[in-house]
Structure 1
Amino acid sequence: MGTRRAAFDRPRTLWGVTALVLALLYLPLGVVFLYSFNSSSSLVQFDGFSFQWYRAVLDNGQMLDSLRVSVEVAVVTTVVSVVLGTLLSFGVVRGMAALGRPVQASVLLRVVTPETATGVALLLMFTQLGVTLSRVTLVLAHVSLCIAFVAVVITSRLSQLNHEVEEAAMDLGATRLQSVWLVAIPALRPAIVSSALLSFVLSFDNFITSFFTSGIGVPPLPVRIYSMIRYGVSPEVNAIGACMLVITVLVIVLAMLVARLGGRRRTPDFRQEDATIV
Structure 2
Amino acid sequence: MNAESTTVPTAPTAAARPAAKGATVRRKRRRRAERRPRFAIAVTVCFFALLYLPIGVVALFSFNAQKSLTVFKGFSLRWYEAFAHDDLLLGSLGTSLRISLVATAGSIVLGVTLALGLVRSRNRLGSLAGLIMLVPLITPEIVTGVAAMLLFKGVAVPLSTATVMLSEVTFSISYVTVIMRSRVAALNPEVEEAAMDLGATRWQALRLVTLPALLPGILACAVLVFALVFDDFVLAYFTTGVDPQPLSVRIYSAIRFGVQPTINAVGTLMLAGSVALIALALAIPRLFGRRGGLDLLSGK
* Structure 1 length-normalised TM: 0.88
Letter matched to residue 226 of structure 2: F
* Structure 2 Cα separation of the partners of residues 135 and 15 of structure 1: 46
8 Å CA contact retained: 2:183, 2:214: yes
Aligned pair count reads 273
2:126 to 72, 81, 100: 100
CA distance in 1, matches of 2:287, 2:135: 35
CA distance in 2, matches of 1:134, 1:211: 11
How far apart, in 2, do the equivalents of 1:269 and 1:61 lie? Answer: 48
Q: Which amino acid aligns with 2:183?
A: R
1:155 aligns with 2:174: no
- Residue in 2 that maps onto 1:224: 250
Q: Which moved more, 1:15-24 or 1:143-152?
A: 15-24
2:106 is aligned to 80
CA distance in 2, matches of 1:152, 1:45: 46
The 10-residue stretch of structure 1 (211-220 or 247-256) with the greater mean CA deviation from structure 2: 247-256
2:236 is aligned with 1:194: no
Please say which of residues 254-263 and 110-119 is displaced more in the overlay. Answer: 254-263
Please list the CA deviations of residues 27-60 of structure 1 after superposition, one character each: whole Å capped at 9, or x if unmatched: 3322221111011222222221011111111121
Structure 2 residue ranges without an equivalent (≥5): 1-26
Change (3 A) 1:173 1:268: farther
**Structure 1 residues 12 and 39: alpha-carbon distance in aligned structure 2, compared to 1, 3 A threshold:** farther
1: distance between equivalents of 2:171 and 2:163? 12
* Equivalent residues in 2 for 1:180-191, closer than 5 Å: 180-191=206-217
2:84 paired residue number? 58
1:10 aligns with 2:5: no
State the match for 2:230 in structure 1: 204
SS at match of 1:159: helix
How far the C-alpha of 1:187 sits from its partner, in A, is 2.0
1:233 match: 259
Counterpart in the other structure of 1:141: 167
Equivalence for 2:6: none
Change (3 A) 1:9 1:42: farther
SS of 2:116 mapped into structure 1: helix
Q: Deviations over 1:65-97 (max 9, x none)?
A: 111100110011101100110001111111242
Give the equivalent residue in structure 2 for 1:119. Answer: 145
Instruction: Give RMSD over aligned pairs.
Output: 2.6
Where do 5+ consecutive residues of structure 1 fail to align? 274-278
Larger Rg: 2
Aligned residue for 1:251?
277
Note closer, same or farther for the CA distance 1:177–1:18 as it changes in structure 2 (3 Å cut).
Answer: farther
Q: Which deviates further from its counterpart, 26-35 or 45-54?
A: 26-35
SS in 2 for 1:56: helix
Q: 1:270 to 1:91 in 2, by over 3 A?
A: closer
Shift in CA distance, 266/177, structure 1 to aligned 2, threshold 3 Å: farther
Which amino acid letter does the alignment assign opposite residue 178 of structure 2?
A: V
Q: 1:7 to 1:38 in 2, by over 3 A?
A: farther
Equivalent-residue separation in structure 2 for 1:131 and 1:33 (angstroms): 39
Residue 148 (structure 1) shift? 0.9
Displacement of 1:16 in angstroms is 5.4
Q: Offset of 1:108 from its aligned partner?
A: 0.2
Quick one: distance in 2 between partners of 1:66 and 1:86?
30
- Alpha carbons of structure 1 residues 45 and 186: separation in structure 2 relative to 1, 3 Å: same
1:11-30 Cα offsets, whole Å, 9 max, x none, are 47466565445444433322
Q: Which amino acid aligns with 1:29?
A: I
SS of 1:231 mapped into structure 2: coil
Contact 2:220 2:280 (C-alpha < 8 Å) held by counterparts: no
2:243 is equivalent to residue 214 of structure 1: no
